[in-house]
Structure 1
Amino acid sequence: MDDLRSTLKSLYDGRSARARRFRYGLILFDSISIVYFITTAALTATPLFVTLNAIFGVFIVLDLAARLWISTNLRKELMRIYTLADLVVVISLVLAPLMAESFAFLRVLRGLRLIHAYHLLYDLRRESMFFRKHEDAILAAVNLLVFIFVITSLVFVLTFDGDAGIAGYVDALYFTVATLTTTGFGDITLTTTGGKLLSVFIMVVGVALFVQLARTIFQPAKVKHTCPECGLSRHESDAVHCKHCGTTLKIETKGDTSG
Structure 2
Amino acid sequence: MTVSDPPSSTAPARPADLLLARLGRPDEGWRRRLYTIIFEADTRAGRAFDLTLIGLILLSIGVVMADSVVEIRACFGTLLTVLEWTLTLLFTVEYLARLLCVRHPLRYARSVYGVIDLLAVLPTYLAVLVPGLHALIDVRVLRLLRIFRILKLGAYVAEYGALGAALWATRRKILVFLTFVLMVAVVLGTMMYVVEGPANGFTSIPVSIYWAITTVTTVGFGDITPRTDLGRLLSSMMMLLGWGTLAVPTGIVSAEFAARRGQEPTTRHCPDCLSEGHLPSARYCRDCGARLPPWQRDPG
TM-score, normalization by structure 1: 0.47
Greater RCO between the two (CA within 8 Å, min separation 6)?
2
Higher Cα radius of gyration: 2
TM-score, normalization by structure 2: 0.41
